[in-house]
A and B are shown apart, each in its own frame.
Chain A
């Protein structure tokens, strides 16, 4: 049976922002639709309206000509609209099966049978009786998909599904989605990744600032045309010009080990690498393979053996982050709001936070507010942070602006080495471009970067050398030109 989903004149207004401005769209089963837009373009709002999380101010939703009243997520479920959110709606401490049975009306045995059938059909393999927190991101997503499939949905909405997946997991997901589509499920795929739209979808709707700007068939589009529609201006493509890097070694890691007391952390074993001046070392890997532990060991959040880290001819393995900063290291952690910045503090206060000694921000224990504010303004203009209010609490900055602010702050001491962990995680094209440009500039100034990232495209674009981390072990270090994303994918999965 054909499914027809119609969004008619939907408007949702938040104070100070029109999230959806009179959006009308029509979808038919048998095709995979992309809903494309930058962060803040309004696609998440539209999706939340379709899944009943948000109620629109105006407008109607029709499924097969029936006007749907979506006042809660339950209504969406009842009307056969399935939804896989970017942030999983799973209960980490419950088992996979408990997660699935909680919103099901079926008996235990019946449900188990049904789940087994679904898993067989789509080639999923997940242990139903282990807690969800033991699953990888890709497996968690499969649990979410199974949860939707149990209800035989007519519509399946995927919200930024690949942001946490590896290359392989992504292609597996695409295969499944195509299979669903052939079976008559209407797929709406929300993303800001253009490559995926080109690979997977049949039709694409582009949103910008709450408005629908275009609906077109994929065969009439290419990456550039979509990017320009999405951003609303012509984007320049950035590329790293390959220069001869110096052979002067900046940092050397020797036989670094870390054994964690926490069973949910990964142990690091026998890490060895070195980075020369002006070089960018990329570290690829599926998230949860020790990246976060490696970052913490490198930044000094976890202290290790003094001799295991040699930086600028000093042994600094036993120093804390503050002391390491004095040796001109800088850090940009993964979690912008939890680790890098304090959400409730103003922008200028956050700028002051990581520079206690090497700046003139403090005099005799007192805060020199004018100095800090002056410097904050400089960061905001130099790094293109889109606000002019340095008293703004940092939680109100968008991810992209916050990341620019953090990198700007870290570069204040003009460090010799910047260690970044997923610096463009969850950012939109414009912001990613800007961060990439900045990182390339740092290399051009003969400063070094260690880039720990789960985004292989990013790594291939920015790195001079690449290594892969798998289960807490580093692969051998390869020259970036010799590496392909396929090869990285195999290494990331533990292959050779």
Chain B
């Protein structure tokens, strides 16, 4: 069998495309968690983003409105979470779970009218360059703007956390909200901002799914990707670059197991489907074993409510 080198490039590109929503949602959640907030509502925020993006695109016809509208929808639903956990000091875990259930329910309700409607084609960049370089051409060129943004995001996130003052404040709040508050940092404001940012990124991840990756609305179309995104954050030990690695492995195995199923490899389908989950977690655990680094990058106040007493 002769394998076209550009075919390999296309497979790699499809792996990368499947990693995009994971990277977006994980990097958003990473910022939220670095500020000490555990938002388990990623799946819910993603699906809200997915239906909002698709619905707005269908109704307004504008891709820009649809993309930003999806992000805004993520922000709005995460505002509920922020209000509950930061202002009313509810439990992060319970509130996050409720958010996911709420998101899945409401998206299904809104989505009823959008089932079966075909999506629109999303413009891609550098289409013409695709065939200029063998192998690398299909990998590098001919993708949507969201795709490029997603692959820049881990590096931007890493730079933001390490090098900028606001990044430092986010880490400080996640490390010790009490100390931060005593330093005059408005802990609640920082946490609100981080939760809302996480919501925006989850919304964008959802919109990518319904508008670019598989341009249509299917009920429950996020299919657990929000949970994987959450797992990536934890198993990457809050390191954006490792999130990128994890998302690629997960995306890669998902695509490859499809191909294996298609070829008819004699391995039980259930095992193949489970494979990406298992391998991703094993790999991330193995590359994140340095307990010193874990201690340094784990937000000490993660999931704990901060109540300023006066």
Contact = CB atoms under 8 A, between A and B. Distances in A.
Nearest to A53: B182
B296 A261 contact: no
Contact of A89 (B178, B296, B310): B178
Nearest to B292: A263
Contact of B295 (A90, A93, A101, A261): A93
Interface in A360-398: none
Contacts of B171: 91, 93-94, 98
Contacts of B300: 92-93
Contacts of B297: 93
Given A101-B168, A262-B291, A91 B179 contact: yes
B51 interface: no
A90 B184 contact: no
A240 to B, nearest CB: 40
B183 interface: yes
Nearest to B172: A91
Interface in A67-95: 72-74, 77, 85, 88-94
Contacts of A91: 171-172, 175-176, 179-180
B8 interface: no
A93 B300 CA distance: 8
A131 B168 CA distance: 13
Given A93-B296, A133-B295, A263-B291, A72 B172 contact: no
A102 interface: yes
Q: Tell me the dominant secondary structure on chain A's binding face.
A: loop
Contacts of A73: 181-184
B169 interface: yes
A55 interface: yes
Nearest to A72: B184
Contacts of A54: 310
Interface string B163-206: 00100110110011011111111000000000000000000000
Interface residues of B, number: 23
Interface in A84-135: 85, 88-94, 98, 101-103, 131, 133
A361 to B, nearest CB: 33
Given A133-B295, A263-B292, A94 B172 contact: yes
Given A93-B300, A262-B291, A264-B295, A103 B183 contact: yes
Contacts of A92: 175-176, 300
B184 A74 contact: yes
Interface string B263-295: 000000000000000000000000000011001
Nearest to B180: A91
A94 B181 contact: no
Nearest to B179: A89
B143 to A, nearest CB: 36
Interface in A252-266: 261-264
A89 B297 CA distance: 19
A102 B169 contact: yes
Contact of B296 (A74, A101, A131, A262): A131
Contacts of A74: 184
A120 B52 CA distance: 60
B310 A103 contact: no
A92 B295 CA distance: 10
A178 B68 CA distance: 60
A472 B291 CA distance: 21
B310 A102 contact: no
Given A89-B179, A263-B291, A94 B184 contact: no
Contacts of A133: 295-296
B168 A55 contact: no
A103 B165 CA distance: 10
Contacts of A98: 168, 171-172
Contacts of B292: 263-264
Contact of B179 (A51, A72, A90, A131): A90
A93 B180 CA distance: 13
Contacts of A55: 310
Contacts of A90: 176, 179
Residue in A54, A90, A93 whose Cβ sees the most chain B Cβ within 10 Å = A93
Given A133-B295, A263-B292, A264-B295, A89 B168 contact: no
Interface in A311-351: none
Contacts of A85: 182
Given A73-B183, A94-B171, A261 B176 contact: no
B167 to A, nearest CB: 10
Nearest to A90: B179
A89 B295 contact: no
B184 to A, nearest CB: 3
Contacts of A93: 171, 175, 295-298, 300
Residue in B181, B295, B297 whose Cβ sees the most chain A Cβ within 10 Å = B295
9 contacts: A51-B182, A73-B184, A89-B178, A89-B179, A89-B183, A91-B172, A91-B180, A94-B168, A261-B291
Considering the complex of A and B, which 3 residue pairs feature the smallest CB-CB distances, nearest first?
A74-B184, A89-B179, A91-B175
Given A91-B175, A91-B180, 5 more contacts: A72-B184, A89-B182, A91-B171, A91-B172, A91-B179
Interface of B: 165, 168-169, 171-172, 175-176, 178-185, 291-292, 295-298, 300, 310
